[in-house]
Amino acid sequence: MPLSMRPRTSVRVIAIAVTVALAGALAACGSQGAAPRASHTRGSSTPTPTPTPVDPIAEYADARLASMTLQQKVASLLMLHAPGTDGAALRAFVDQYGLGGLILMGDNIPASPDLLSQETTAISADPELPVLIATDEEGGDVARLGWDTLPGADQLKNLPPAATHDAFATRAQLLQQAGINVNFGIIADTTSDPQSFIYDRVLGTDPASAADRVAAAVSAEHGTVMSTLKHFPGHGETEADSHLTVPTTATSMDAWTTRDAPPFEAGVGAGAELVMFGHLVYSAVDAQPASLSSRWHQILRDDLGFTGIAITDDLRMLQDTGLAQYQNPSENAVAALQAGNTMLLFVTAADPAQDGIDPGRLIADIVSAVDNGRISLQQIDTDARKLLIARRTLAHQG
């Protein structure tokens, strides 16, 4: 594996590892030194061990998880969509199913920042455990906020990385002020092909320039909103649009490592909290779309060192391809969890009959998949806990 592809390790993890190693070394020295005394001297006392620090966020997540039913855990892994700008109605939708997330599309965005802030404030029933509220705020061609006049990728790719940092720092503030805490806004795909549907949205037309701007965007959003890299493992190898089909490329793993991985690696290294998996087939790596591929999830974890939240692109897109194997939304959801996704995204329609997705049925079918052993309870617990920690962290951020 090339040096640039080795997993990154955070300073905190290194510090913990060094502390543990030193403790072990000191213990070993003690055991190999002078023989123990026959008895304690008068007045001596055994030193009190230093208590292990308690992480209050992890402690909260553990307690909350222990109180949740399987149905509640499964529901917390879903990010869905409901129409309209009525915050009370959106909250009722979230509460009805116990969802962990809500995506805001164009139909959810009112005319002003103040109105949007009022809407999002009404969505989360518990401010100590806010719902993950996401939107696609890339800027340029894809901008949900009508008042976001900052440059998008079509301009930023031709400017120094500092311009990307400045744009995304201000964009993150706009989102935070509006009550949105997750941005599906950082395109880590790269291509120099003007015919590609993703071309106008990439931050760089070569791996190095894209990587620099992706890292700048993540760094700019850090501590304001949660950053998302998309669409892993990269749309740039094909001109096809995954909203209409499942794009397929014969690109080899070596070529992917050189051409497509660097921007994702840079974004992971900069601290991106989420990576969105695309419905893309790299046939030389796996016959399954990356969103349903355990191999691609393993590559993200083991080769790029990502430990955050893996989320699918809109799973309804698979149904929209018309391919027979993707017409059951519950089966798509089960396959996505089996592959290693932490969270499932469905941009559901106002009428479940329109796209065949009933949230209650979806949750029940995933619960059944756990009950019959297709998905392990341990995985559900791990994913639900990770999302609880993310949501609790947002409540106490800043």
The set of catalytic residues is 243, 313
Which of the 8 DSSP states describes residue 352? H
Distance CA 332, CA 351 (A): 20
Residue 214: both structure tokens together: 């992706």
Residue 99 · residue 391 · CB < 8 Å: no
Distance CA 264, CA 260 (A): 8
- Cα dihedral value 339, 319, 143, 280, nearest 10: 50
HEC-encoded secondary structure of 292-325: HCHHHHHHHHHCCCCCCEEEECCCHHHHHCCCHH
Task: Find, among 2, 375, 22, the residue nearest to 207 by Cα.
Answer: 2
Task: Find, among 397, 345, 392, the residue nearest to 131 by Cα.
Answer: 392
Residue 362: both structure tokens together: 């979806």
Residue carrying the six token digits 């639900």: 384
